[in-house]
Structure formats: C-alpha cells, structure tokens
Copies of this chain bind each other. A is one copy, B any other.
Amino acid sequence: MSKRIVIIGCGVSGTTAAFHARKTDRTAQIVLLGDEELPEYSRCGLPYAFSHVVPSLEALIGHDEAFYEQMNRIDLRLGWKATSVNTEKRGVEAIRTKDDSTETIEYDTLVLTTGARTSTVPVPGSDLKGVFTIRTMNDVERLTNHLAENHAKRVAVIGAGLTGSEMAEALLQRGLAVLEAEIVPEILPVILDPDMALIIRTRAEEHGVEYHLQSTLEEIKGRNGRVSRIRITGTEHPVDAVVIAVRVKPNTELAKSAGIALGESGGIKTDERMATSAPNVYAAGDCIETYDRITRRHVFFQLATTAVRQSLVAGINAAGGNAKYPGSTGVTTVKLFGLEVSSFGPTTALSEKLGIRPVSVRVTGSTRLPYYPGGKDLTVKLLADPKDGRLLGAQLVGEEGATLRANFASMAGHLGLTVQEFEEIETCYSPPLAPVWDPVTIAAQALLRKLQTSQLAKSRPVTTVEN
C-alpha cells in the first residue's frame, strides 16, 4: 500500500513540501491541508497587489487547484484547519470551517508548515473597525474596502520593519498620507544599523512619510465604532485606519500541544533533515527556528527563501529521501522608495548583545566608473569579528545592485571566510555594467586595514567612514 504524507499548512512552505514529496515518491498519497479557502499565494506580494504594482490579488496565486490535484495528484483540502496531532497514533484531527465537519487523517509521515501570524498591540481600541494586520489576501481586501468606504486620507502604520515599511510606501502610492510609528530610535532595526537605515528614512521622508521614532502606540480612539485618532507617546493624531506591522510569531500551538519540542527561539526545533522531536514528523518554514550560520544560534527568520529550502528538504525526507538543510545567513532584501536595501548577518547592536565587538566600515561607492553615465551611489557597511577576522555581516543601500551584492557577501558569510579571504575575490568589470573596484571590494579593503590597525592598537574598534 502506498504511504500517506500529510502536510499541514498550504503557504509556500506546505506547497513546496508537497511538490517535492511528489517528485520523490510518485505513488505516495499526499494530503495538503490549508485553513484559507485559497491555494498558495505570495504573501510577500501583498503590498504590491495592494498598491496595484501587481494588477490583482489573484495574480499572486501560484497554481490553480487543478495543478495540485490533476498534475501532481495532491489531495488539496482548502478550508480545513488541523486542530490536533496525535504523534503516537499518527493522526491529525481536522475541521472543515465552512460546515464544522471533522475528520481524522492518518499519516505515515507528517510535515508541519503552519507558518506564522501577525501580532496585534494590546492597547485600548485595538478592536475597533479600521485596525488591520497584513498577512492574508483577506486582510488586504478588508483594508482596501475600509479605506474606500471611509474616504480615508491618512493611515498610521505601527512598526517600521520590513512589512511596515513596504506598507507605508504602498499606502503613499495609493494617495494616502502615512504616519509611521516605531518604538526604537531608527527604522528597519532588524536588518540595518541606524546609520544605514537613516539613508532610507531620509528618502521616505522626502516621499512624505511622517515618522514618529521612539514612540509607543498607547491608544486607538474611535467614532461610531471606527478608528478616528491614535495616541502615540502622549500625542494624538487623526487617522482613518491603523496598520499594525509588529513582530510576527511562529504558529506552534499544534506542535506544542502534540508534545513536539520547541527551540530556544520559540519556533519548532528541527534537525538538519527538518525532523522534529516526534518520529516521522517534519517541520519547515515560518513555524520553526532556523540555524543562523553567522551567529551560530537558532533564530526565527521569516524569509521565503529559507522557508522554501527547508520545505524542499522536509518534503523529500517525508517521502523517504535524504536531504539536508545547512542553515542560513538570513540574507534579506527589500525595495523601498526606489532603494534596494539588503543585508545579512547581525547588526552592530545585535553583535554586541551577543558579546562580539564588531569592527566595521561604511563606504559609499558607485555602480559605474565616474565617466560612464548612469552610475548610482551604493553605500556598503561591512562588519567583522576582530577575534578571528571573519566577515560577520554586510548592509547595502542604493538605487541598484544591492541585492545581488548582498548574495555575494552572504556567500562569504555562509562559508565563514575572513575579510582577507573575501577581499581576494575578483569581480568583473565593464564600463556599462560595473566599476573596476566594486564598492563591496573597496569596503572589504577598508575593513581589512581597520582590522589590522585595531589588532595593532588592541583598542576598542569603532566605525570608520570612508568615501
């Protein structure tokens, strides 16, 4: 009899696991449970569908149901929510949301791709109409309708991380005024040092975003049950809607109640084969914690690239194969107000929290030689661990070329190269395409000099700016 593989969660992780399970085992039964009524769509695309850069929400859907069922013989059950897992009896209890019918689905192997969920902020008024988080298509539809019905003019975004910043730009593109509140002193604190984030904030302010940094949302006030004002650190501001974009959290309740071990970060713990503590149960994506190759800890990355690589491994292994996931550098990119913003590795603040006093440099170069038209400024910050000279991280901001250079630097981080080894890597040049000395190389050379000087001086390293 053929094996049954059950996958809980039909985001990009669940579908990736399902397709790779199918490639690995042509005869297995594969059951894919999704609690939304839609097949997998790109969550990362939601801000772009909201702003109409992508023409419709439907464009974000990866494959239609026939692709799952007829092309890949995957038993796709949409609108089914798993309510419990019995790892001894190898069964999943599920409920169909539209009619409350329940079913026990037995498995030979199970893959948990339950994803993550947004957080709300526990302040008075957070239950008013007009307060949103953005995780699903439904969230975007509701926000869009609310803005239209209320002739909205001004929206508050709470949290200036990746999603908050993308939504701030998307709201501006829809003609709304935007107020952004961030609890820490600078935007994008997870991926950038403040000196780098300032470049993006300056650009965003030119586009019209009104920032309130080091500011806490204290209350949301309403009129006729709808948002009308917010109070941030003692000051009230009239707004027509509030988008809460603070930290997302892994969905681990199902795993936890099944007795599956969670890790230090709160995500589901797996080994490099994506196996959990329960026999025949794998997990992948936003619900797990990931090995960070740079800081050598297990962390909660929320990256689609990390999720799909883990899910590929989980799907193959759940189908009887043997694949491994080696961990991630957390390399991330985002486009904001015409700037590519890319990074990997810990920020200076996080490094220091982890007991490393990084040596760093910040260099602004150009993506072309000065004589060739069209070159753009690219600011590169590199961090190194002075104890072993290892490249710890890179942060890049510019109108072009940051994303792919972050991959280049991140490869060095993945492999544990020293700054010296990294500096030796040659880059290609042609006047219309790239300069003779790449800005990343120039930064690496400056960092190398800095490391050598700081080793001589044995003094506390500080950031040097070279231009």
Contact = CB atoms under 8 A, between A and B. Distances in A.
B429 A44 contact: yes
Interface stretch (A80-88, A135-143, A202-210, A329-337): A329-337
A326 interface: yes
A176 interface: no
Interface centre among A48, A404, A410 (most CB of B within 10 A): A404
Given A53-B373, A408-B404, A408-B408, A12 B436 contact: yes
Contacts of A48: 372, 431-432
Interface string A399-410: 001011111101
A407 B410 contact: no
Nearest to A334: B430
Contact of A54 (B373, B417, B424): B373
Contact of A430 (B12, B333, B425): B333
A428 interface: yes
B371 A434 contact: no
A17 interface: no
Interface string A44-77: 1100100001100001100000000000000000
Interface centre among A306, A417, A429 (most CB of B within 10 A): A429
Interface in A404-453: 404-408, 410-412, 414-415, 417, 424-434, 436-438
Interface string A173-217: 000000000000000000000000000000000000000000000
Contact of A44 (B59, B334, B431): B431
Contacts of A303: 428-429
A431 B42 CA distance: 9
A13 to B, nearest CB: 11
Interface in A317-369: 326, 328-329, 331-335, 340, 342, 344, 369
Contacts of A371: 42, 45, 54, 59-60
Contacts of A53: 372-373, 432
A278 interface: no
Contacts of A427: 305, 331, 407, 410
Contact of A411 (B306, B309, B403, B408): B408
Given A332-B428, A403-B434, A369 B45 contact: yes
A305 B430 CA distance: 9
B401 A426 contact: no
Contact of A434 (B333, B373, B428): B333
Interface in A287-311: 303-306, 308-309
A75 to B, nearest CB: 25
Contact of A342 (B326, B373, B424, B428): B428
Nearest to A369: B42
A308 to B, nearest CB: 6
Contacts of A328: 426
A293 to B, nearest CB: 9
28 contacts: A42-B369, A45-B369, A45-B371, A53-B373, A54-B371, A54-B372, A54-B373, A60-B371, A303-B429, A304-B429, A305-B428, A309-B426, A328-B426, A331-B426, A331-B428, A333-B433, A333-B434, A334-B433, A335-B433, A340-B433, A342-B428, A344-B428, A401-B404, A403-B434, A407-B427, A407-B428, A414-B424, A415-B415
